[in-house]
Chains A and B, each alone.
Chain A
Amino acid sequence: MLTNKKGERRFSSDKIFKIAATVSGVYVLVIIALMVFQLYFESHAVWEREGLDFLIGSSWNAVEGRESFGAAPYILGTLVTALLAMAIGVPLSIGIAMFISQAPKFLAVPLGMLVDLLAAVPSIIYGFWGIFVFRQFLLDFVEYPLYDALGENSWIFLSAPFGLDIFTASIILAIMIIPTISAVSREIMMAVPHQQKEAAYMLGATRWEMFRISIFPYAKTGLIGAAILGLGRAVGETMAVTMLIGNATGPGAFPQSLFQPGQTMSSIIANEFIEASPASLHLPALIGVGLILLLVAICINVVAHILVSRMLKVKEGVVNA
């Protein structure tokens, strides 16, 4: 009798504990679902009113009575800045990862820490530094030279640079995604089994050839995953971009030349969310932009995590991602 009673009680308190833990675990799933639903629900006014135009239109007018919202320039702005950041950031990051994965310990450890440090610096500080230090440097040493050399002949560099433009924002983004991509790539490269590298060296490969025939093919999926992870960061990044992209709105925000002010999905939300009146369509429009941003981010990160974790599981115990 006594043991039976005790047994029941043990069962029940353990049960409660398990339920509490499970609820906390499921919390993240509930939040994600709720988030998508909530953003859709609160923005459906703008979807109803604009329909497909919200995705492909470019007018952005919050004046009551003449409201009209199209998010295309910001969607494009996000894509252009993020892709440009990738074009610069990915090769650099892979290079850093190559160096750190090969360097002797006394170099690799502090370098790895420095890169991690770069990741710990908050976005707002990148933005502040960007405005007051980096912008002038870019103007003097990159933007004007490019403009003088190529501006007349190519649309990419048309329009006199001002420093607060798509180009500057992209470079800052590139700097900001380097720690993410290089840290993940480093893990991925270190997860390549030793025997693979030895096989290449045995054939008389140089270090570079070893990367080419052994590490890169083996780690390809993971490295692509790392890059996509960086893309996700670039797409969602807000403050530094908001401070440096120049904040154009409406059709003028369409990315035409790199030296033109632009706008991304996240920066338009940061700029206008507080001013937007909940009574007008302005707030639903911004929430709608948020929804698009969210869905894009989910897709990117799901793909990235599948690729990265598939690779890192290969070497047991490195990361249980």
Chain B
Amino acid sequence: MTAMIDMQDARADIVKDAPNYKMIAENVSVFYDGIQAVKNVTMKFREKSVTSLIGPSGCGKTTFLRCLNRMHDMTKNARVEGRILLDGQDLYSKDVDPIYHRRKVGMVFQKPNPFPTMSIYDNVAAGLRLNGVKDRKILDEIVEDSLRMSYIWDEVKDNLRKPAMELSGGQQQRVCIARALAIQPEVLLMDEPASALDPIATQKIEETITELAKEFTIIIVTHNMQQAVRVSNYTAFMYLGELIEFDETKKIFTQPRNELTAKYVKGQFG
């Protein structure tokens, strides 16, 4: 009885909370071939904040992140349970096609994946063209702006027509970030965006993230604790598919409530 009332309360809470948060994930579970990889994760993301997801390899960070963009729709062996609200609207509602949401939620993947047959310019412009932007001048403007935001403009401005595949891995990743930014998303999901970058590019990307946080809601997966401390307002620690602790970054790293979290952020995991 009490449990049921609690749950109802929780529901009511979420609906009441909706205006305060950009995105809410409620009791999200993900199964691969029936095996649970994410277990009942509930998280709320404030507008214009940066949230870091940390945790050991294989703990389900990528898997959870992909739910926020309905990327699992395409994975034939994956099943998602639970509810995810974006601006108070159910992401997994049957009445709304996911492409409405995906326009609002940009994603940068763990491995750079530019379209290999397209030039740098066309890669960044691909999403704009889908959205019916044809005006050359506007395309040029947004492409440049996006490439600047991802700190690669100076490196590629003279050969925008070059195939994106001819760039280095780190450069490709930044083009992918630009590609995601070009569609002017409101939420940006980044899966270890800096893992293929050198320290200088990493630093610049971090600056971008801080800059973007003034108007985007950013959720970033990272293995780099310093990075989490530097860029994020909130940090979530995941372990074996469960959300162990989710709090302000400062608290997570200075006075974690959970023993596992403490061990992990101190680097004593093993």
Contacts and interface: CB of A to CB of B under 8 A. Distances in A.
**B is bound to A:** yes
Interface of A: 104-105, 193-206, 209, 213-214, 217-218, 220
Given A105-B76, A195-B113, A217-B115, A201 B102 contact: yes
A123 to B, nearest CB: 36
A204 B103 CA distance: 5
A87 to B, nearest CB: 25
A104 B126 CA distance: 28
A221 to B, nearest CB: 10
Report, nearest first, the 5 A-B pairs whose CB atoms are least far apart: A203-B127, A195-B113, A217-B117, A204-B103, A204-B102
Interface stretch (B104-112, B195-203, B253-261): B104-112
Contacts, number: 66
B126 A206 contact: no
B127 A204 contact: yes
Nearest to B66: A198
Nearest to B77: A105
Contact of B117 (A104, A202, A220): A220
B41 interface: no
Interface string B238-270: 000000000000000000000000000000000
Nearest to B97: A206
B207 to A, nearest CB: 23
Contact of A204 (B74, B115, B131): B131
11 contacts: A196-B115, A199-B109, A199-B114, A199-B179, A202-B107, A203-B127, A203-B183, A204-B103, A213-B130, A214-B115, A218-B115
A198 B99 CA distance: 12
Contact of A203 (B73, B116, B118, B130): B130
B115 A213 contact: yes
Which of A197, A200, A204, A220: most chain B Cβ within 10 A?
A: A204
Contact of A104 (B76, B114, B130, B183): B76
Contacts of A213: 115, 126, 130
Contacts of B117: 217-218, 220
Contacts of A194: 74
B96 interface: no
Task: Bin chain B's interface residue count.
Answer: 20 to 34
A199 B74 CA distance: 12
A203 B129 CA distance: 10
B115 A199 contact: yes
Contacts of A206: 97, 99
Nearest to A108: B76
Given A204-B183, A205-B130, A209-B130, A199 B102 contact: no
Given A198-B74, A217-B115, 13 more contacts: A105-B76, A193-B113, A196-B115, A198-B107, A198-B113, A199-B113, A199-B179, A203-B130, A203-B180, A204-B102, A204-B103, A205-B130, A218-B116
Interface in B41-87: 69, 71, 73-74, 76
B102 A198 contact: no
Which of A199, A202, A206: most chain B Cβ within 10 A?
A: A202
B176 interface: yes
A25 B258 CA distance: 66
Nearest to B122: A213
A217 B183 contact: no
Contacts of B102: 201-204
A36 B20 CA distance: 78
Contacts of B97: 206
B179 A203 contact: yes
Contacts of B76: 104-105
Interface in B16-51: none
A201 B71 contact: yes
Nearest to A221: B117
A209 B102 CA distance: 14
A251 B204 CA distance: 75
Contact of A202 (B100, B106, B114): B106
Given A195-B109, A203-B102, A203-B183, A217 B118 contact: yes
Nearest to B117: A217
A220 B116 CA distance: 12
Contacts of A203: 102, 126-127, 130, 179-180, 183
A202 B71 CA distance: 8
B130 A204 contact: yes
B180 A205 contact: no
Contacts of A199: 109, 113-115, 176, 179
A246 to B, nearest CB: 44
Nearest to B129: A213
Nearest to B70: A201
Which of B99, B176, B183: most chain A Cβ within 10 A?
A: B99
A198 B108 CA distance: 10
A169 B175 CA distance: 51
A199 B172 CA distance: 13
A112 to B, nearest CB: 15
A195 B115 CA distance: 10
